[in-house]
Chain A
Amino acid sequence: MAVAVIVPIIWPMEPFEIPSTLAKDAFETVENLPEGSNVLLAFDYDPGSAPELQPMATAWVWHCAKKHHRMYFMALWPLGVNMVQDTVDQVIHKDYPELEEGVDYVNLAFRTGNEGVIKVIVTNLKALFNVDSRGEALTQIPMTKKIVSLRDMNLIISVSAGYPGTKEWIQYAGTPYGIKVVGGCTGVQAPLLYPYYPGQMQGMLGAIKGASEYEHLLSTKYPEYKYGPSYSPDTPKDKLKPRKNFTQGLTRMGPQLIAHCLILVLIVLGNIALYMQRRAREAV
């Protein structure tokens, strides 16, 4: 398994990607929001699940910035704040240096209380969040001055690795108050979230496959996501180099493909061995 995973890391490969309806809907939800919409990005994960979730977080932040949405970052996990900061550094500071903190995006940081936090801020945001991550009062920050509660958000994007996460955002904000929710989750969580789509959740990215599909959709519509802000349609194809930090989902599908093929082969071999063992036993 180690060899099956390491080889495609050293010699990268990008399998052909066909986006699912869930990923397409998640993409269309962000894409079809009017420019300048309020989007809450909840980063409820930590470095332990970053290999699965960071690619989709990167893609979503880039997409929101591209569509000039106002981004409100927050976390229900303590280490989520660091993930927000990493993503802001990697995406906004790099590709959108013109965006200003407090005007175009704000980091509301972490609050403990799990679903209790959602339950409070869905009626009064400033009851729990009175300052942002820099310690500046929300009443003084231009983009939070007029925000009363979660109901002022046009969309909630939840990237989550467990509890509290997407399920809680759907239960306490999306379903009771009719706020649109799209979620990105780990592979373990994905089957538990499927029942919420499409009634209570507008789109979903399940694990690294979902992230890869979203990256594919984003790169197809906006090639500058994949090739950088200097991309031009006139550039010869052989000179176009995908940016590694922005295509982690696509590149990680290479090792996934090889590893899954290996598992399939091992299952088949195991069954053949069992069958032969049984036959040998019957012959005796």
Chain B
Amino acid sequence: MLRTFGIIVVALALVWVVVRTFMGDMGYGYFEVTGEGKAINQVSVCRFELNERTKALADATALARSDIDKARENAALTDTERAERIAEAESLIAENEAASATLAKTVHFSWSRTIGIWLAAFFTLCIMSFLYKDNPLYRFAEHTFVGASAAYWMVVTFWNMAIPIAIGRLFPRFVKFNLAPGHPLDSWVEKLAAENWLAKIVNYEAVVGSGLNAPWYQLMNWWYWIPMAFGVMLLWRLAPTGQWISRWPLAFIIGGTAGIRMVGFLQADFVAQIRSSITPLFVLREAGGNSLAFQQAFYCSMNSIILLLGMITVLIYFFFSLEHKGVVGRISRVGIWVLMITFGAGFGFTVMGRIALLVGRFQFLVQDWINYSP
């Protein structure tokens, strides 16, 4: 029963959207601004503005038409007054129609945008169908998403890292002429000449200012063969034999990451957080030295006291060398309350985040796909 009802609702919604899309009874959700439109408006205008402008012009035209009818029906008016009012309204209608025509010229129906919106709506509905139960449509959308994300990640990383940073440093001229024209050859040679330890062996100075004509070995930053070799070693895992080779670069990555993160955590989370916790309990003056009003002083002091009490009680709760009985037990009980309030606040934020995502999807379906403009 519920399933049939759901299918009927979705089918009706689809029919409604299709009819609205292809019969012209819709806003500008599926339109794009033409080059001429961009020139007229100076910049691109969004669908919301186009819809609003069109609606405003249509409303003004309807109002002018009703003014004409009222003027014709109003017996109190003289013929001259009536003619004047009608002429005024007709001129307004002509102006609005001209403005609407100009607006219509500045946009064109966009197949790419339309197909994009429909695909996005299709996948959104497929994912939402999981609320009913696991089904092939949901799995199709999920697999497509994972595949597309992985492919996108690979392409972006290749063009943003592998080409400019790795291959670009080893074969800069090849990269500049074949892959990335913005490659700064001259400045690199200057940098190599100034900073590179290999400058004692390779004569970089000789090619400063003529990077385009320099021999390949003078443009190459030889140090980059080390990460290149690590990369190859890492991929060795895929080879039929010698998978152990990949452990060496992996060990380097893990060791390097741990080192970098440890320093970061020590500075920003350990030392700095202890420093931030040491605050005056009774705040009577602000940082500039000016006295605080009673209300502000009370608020700031309470903040500091709650911070101190919360920190001590939670620390005691996690102190397991003493049995949680008597005073220690009561304090650790307060610690549990502090933790629960913190988790509650965190959960509240998570709920807000999830609802915001739901709102975003529904806004897309209502405003972009169905093309409803409130």
Contact = CB atoms under 8 A, between A and B. Distances in A.
Given A110-B156, A191-B346, A115 B352 contact: no
Nearest to B131: A2
Interface in A80-99: 81, 89-90, 93-94, 97
Given A6-B362, A200-B276, A209 B352 contact: yes
Nearest to B161: A112
A50 B268 contact: no
Contact of B156 (A48, A78, A241): A78
Contacts of A112: 157, 160-161
B46 interface: yes
Contact of A136 (B153, B182, B342): B182
A89 B44 CA distance: 8
A134 to B, nearest CB: 7
A171 B268 contact: yes
B19 interface: no
B349 A191 contact: yes
B78 to A, nearest CB: 32
Given A97-B42, A131-B184, A78 B361 contact: no
Interface string A113-155: 1011001000000001011101111111000000000000000
Interface residues on chain A, size class: 35 or more
A78 B158 CA distance: 11
B359 A206 contact: no
Given A78-B153, A187-B350, A200 B360 contact: no
Contacts of B257: 116
Interface in B317-367: 342, 345-346, 349-363, 366-367
Nearest to A46: B149
Contact of B44 (A78, A94, A135, A172): A94
Given A9-B366, A139-B184, A195-B273, A111 B260 contact: no
Interface residues of B, number: 58
B353 A9 contact: no
Contacts of A172: 260, 264, 268
Nearest to A258: B355
A93 B43 contact: yes
A255 B360 CA distance: 10
Interface in A261-283: 263
Contacts of A156: none
Contacts of B232: none
B374 interface: yes
B275 A207 contact: no
A243 B180 CA distance: 40
A9 B43 contact: no
A132 B345 CA distance: 41
A52 B275 contact: no
Given A1-B358, A9-B367, A241-B52, A111 B352 contact: no
Contact of B180 (A135, A170, A255): A135
B260 A116 contact: yes
B273 A252 contact: no
B352 A207 contact: yes
Interface string B162-185: 001100100000000000111110
Nearest to B279: A199
Contacts of B153: 78
A134 B182 contact: yes
A256 B355 contact: yes
Given A6-B366, A131-B184, 7 more contacts: A97-B42, A115-B261, A116-B257, A176-B268, A187-B351, A188-B353, A260-B355
Closest 9 CB pairs of A and B: A51-B360, A187-B353, A135-B182, A137-B184, A171-B264, A199-B276, A187-B349, A175-B268, A171-B268
Interface of B: 42-46, 48-49, 52, 152-153, 156-157, 160-161, 164-165, 168, 180-184, 187-188, 257, 260-261, 264-265, 267-269, 272-273, 275-276, 342, 345-346, 349-363, 366-367, 372, 374
